[in-house]
Amino acid sequence: MATITKPPIPEQTETQTESTPMQPAQAVAESISPKSRLATTILAWFLGGLGVDRFYTGHIGLGILKLVTIGGFGIWALIDFIMAVVGKRKDKNGLLITKW
């Protein structure tokens, strides 16, 4: 009589380290920039044509481009001001500037 042998089942080991899941409030708090929304808005209104608001948020290249084009002939400066008022501007790390 022939016996059937089953192949050995490999052991399943966890290779990933378990980390605690991030709480929703903590995730939101970590995605907010330390930059001031008020400062960004004021800079965009008064010095937006010179790109000072872009320099403040850390976008040096865009600040230089905005300076050279005089705020994108005024259109880019106006759009940046509106986005700052609404709270949709981001800093160089991609974090939203929402704290007044």
pLDDT digits (tens, 9 = 90+) for 11-53: 655 555 555 566 666 666 678 999 999 999 999 999 999 999 9
75: domain range?
A: 31-86
13 inside domain: no
93 inside domain: no
Beta bridge partner(s), residue 51: none
Residue for token pair 């981001």? 90
12 inside domain: no
69 inside domain: yes
Q: Output the pLDDT for position 5.
A: 75
The Cα–Cα gap between 90 and 92 comes to: 7
1 inside domain: no
User: Tens digits of per-residue pLDDT, 59-83?
Assistant: 999 999 999 999 999 999 999 999 9
The upper half-sphere exposure of residue 69, i.e. CA atoms within 13 Å in the direction of its Cβ, equals: 13
How many domains would you assign to the chain? 1
Residue type, 99: K
53 inside domain: yes
pTM of the complete model: 0.70
